[in-house]
Amino acid sequence: MAKILICEDKVEARETLRDILLEQGYEVFTAENGKQGVKIFEHQRPDLVFLDIYMPVMDGLSALSEIMKLNPEQIVIMLTASADIKQSVKAMKLGAHDYITKPFDLEELFIIIINALKTNSLHREVRELKKQLASRQSDIVMGESRAIKNIIKSIDLVSPTGMSVLITGESGTGKEVFAQLIHRRSERKEYPFVAVDCGAIPENLIESELFGYEKGAFTGADHSRQGKFEAAHRGTLMLDEITNLSFDGQAKLLRALEERQIRHVGGNKDIAADVRVIATTNLDLQEVLKDGKFRLDLYHRLNEFQIHLPPLRERREDIPELARYFLKIANQELGKQVTSFKSEALEYICEHDWQGNVRELKHALKRAVLMCESRELTLEDLMPNPLSMHPGTKVEDLVDLNGNFYDIVSDLEKQLINNALINYEGNKTKAAEYLGMNRKALYRKMKSLEME
């Protein structure tokens, strides 16, 4: 059922509207001023907001402005007295969907709610269509290697089943991209895909992040909040880098998956948690299990089906297609018109090991497009620093390492500056930018190194 937020400072009006909506089966949140309403909105993201124009602390128009910043498509209905029509019109210009005068006519109220929620549903459909369009485009960049074709076959096989999937592979291989593809090809595609970075959750907050909490559950919990399981209800929950979860967190996760229900921290009722779980890791889970750092029972629960993503260096035949795609994307993002690669640049791209995999390739090409001053991307454009001027360049190729520390560092700095100046035909401004400093800093450094 839809979630509705009521921001109204008059107790009687607020409670009357709340009771009417509760009787209709809506989930209702209330606030007595605009500031409190905005805070609740941030955490609950309701489908519909009723907002009184005149309130203490923060008035309705100010609250409307803040809400529209958080979600420009949010459906907001202004609550107004009949004498406040001008203010209501102003609110409409700021993004309000409609207004209703107090006291409410129930028939009018229900019509406004139904129409507003229909509009909200249409917004969701448009967003989903945009996601699907973006997803079809992202499929293109996966490549045509035998390894990728086998992975796509596996995804086509497992996606409709609802089985838990474990995706393994080095960082940057695109584990989340493939997790989203599984979701889009599943029967849950109409419902949310929620990604959780297990490494970013402090150990003491794992339970509240995954399962949510009730108001007053702990210090600072001044409102209730749903967790990731609720947010992903009937959809897909991706647990990124699952091995970062503590043993205690693993136990609580396993219980939720087995029972298919969760309970808010500080709550006393069970909440259905119908989610399809996709877990990812960049580690060898067999080694992690041997070290006793991961629960065997949770491993078996997550590993109903496993997909391994090979590193980019093991599917080099995909690199040219990926490179051309990322070149196109970089042009769009940066407003450039770099149309092709110089032969030596493409050769370098295909031969490079790309330890950061697809992610590193994408970022390298975006940086190169930014640096490029012609329609053809050159080898020099690809180099993040002069040490990479040629594939395989090592520090010892540039300076003599037999000497004291300070002399070695000075010689290396001279080589870096010389290479940068050669790259840009003596243009010190561009050389300085390339080295990550301004022109004055480059002059000072050259003077200190006694360079002409």
| Residue 112 confidence class, pLDDT cut points 50, 70, 90 | confident
**Does residue 295 share a domain with residue 209?**
yes
Same domain as 299, residue 174: yes
Quick one: 368 and 397 in the same domain? no
In a domain, 136, yes or no: no
CATH number, domain containing residue 335: 1.10.8.60
Model confidence pLDDT, tens digit, residues 176-225:
999 999 999 999 998 999 999 887 788 888 899 999 999 888 887 788 88
> How would you label 113-147 residue by residue, b for 16+ Cβ within 10 Å and e otherwise?
beebbeebeeeeeeeeeeeeeebeeeeebbbebee
Q: Using pLDDT thresholds of 50, 70 and 90, give the confidence band for residue 385.
A: very low
pLDDT tens track for 264-323: 999 888 888 899 999 999 998 899 999 999 999 999 999 999 999 999 999 999 999 999
430 belongs to a structural domain: yes
What three-state secondary structure class fits 87? helix
Confidence bin at 94 (pLDDT 50/70/90): confident
Listed residues 340, 360, 382: the one ending a domain? 382
CA–CA separation, 257 and 275 (whole Å): 8
More reliable by pLDDT, 355 or 130: 355
In a shared domain, residues 426 and 378: no
Condensed to tens digits (0 to 9), the pLDDT of residues 36-83 reads 999 999 888 888 999 988 898 898 889 998 998 888 888 899 888 765
Report yes or no on 89 lying in a domain.
yes
One-character DSSP codes across 217-281: SSTT--S-B--HHHHTTTSEEEEETGGGS-HHHHHHHHHHHHHTEE--BT--S-EE---EEEEEE
Average pLDDT over residues 108-120: 84
**More confident site: 73 or 151:** 151
Which among 34, 124, 113 is positioned nearest to 73, based on CA atoms? 124
Asked whether residue 286 is assigned to any structural domain, the reply reads yes
CA 332, CA 37: separation in Å to the nearest integer? 38
Q: Are residue 65 and residue 211 in the same domain, yes or no? A: no
- Asked whether residue 390 carries a pLDDT value surpassing 60, the answer given is no
> What is the C-alpha to C-alpha distance for residues 215 and 221, in angstroms, rounded to an integer?
5
Are 301 and 154 part of one and the same domain? yes
pTM, full prediction: 0.58
Pair of tokens at residue 257: 């998956």
Claim to verify: residue 119 and residue 192 sit in the same structural domain? no
Residue 131 falls inside a structural domain: no
Asked whether residue 92 falls in the same domain as residue 200, the answer is no
Residue 130 maps to a domain: no
In the chain, the number of structural domains is 4
Structural domain ending residue among the three candidates 335, 352, 382: 382
The CATH number given to whatever domain includes residue 286 is: 3.40.50.300
Confidence of residue 129 (pLDDT cuts 50, 70, 90): low
Confidence band, pLDDT 50/70/90 cuts, at residue 127: low
Shared domain check, 261 and 209: yes
**Residue 35 reports pLDDT greater than 50:** yes
Q: Is the pLDDT of residue 425 over 80?
A: no
CATH number at residue 31: 3.40.50.2300
Q: Where are the alpha helices (DSSP H) in 54-205?
A: 60-70, 85-94, 106-140, 146-158, 175-184
Report if residue 135 sits inside a domain. Answer: no
Question: Is there a single domain that holds both residue 304 and residue 421?
Answer: no
Dist CA 281 CA 239 (whole Å) = 9
Q: Average pLDDT, stretch 393-408?
A: 64
Cβ atoms of 93 and 64 within 8 Å: the answer is no
What's the domain range around 236? 145-310
Is the bond preceding 46 in cis, omega lying within 30 degrees of 0? no
Query: At which of 310, 343, 374 does a domain end?
Result: 310
Look up tokens 């109903």; give the residue: 304
- Beta bridge partners, 28, equal 4
Note whether 161 and 286 are same-domain residues.
yes
The residue length of the chain stands at 452
Q: In terms of domains, do 241 and 341 share one?
A: no
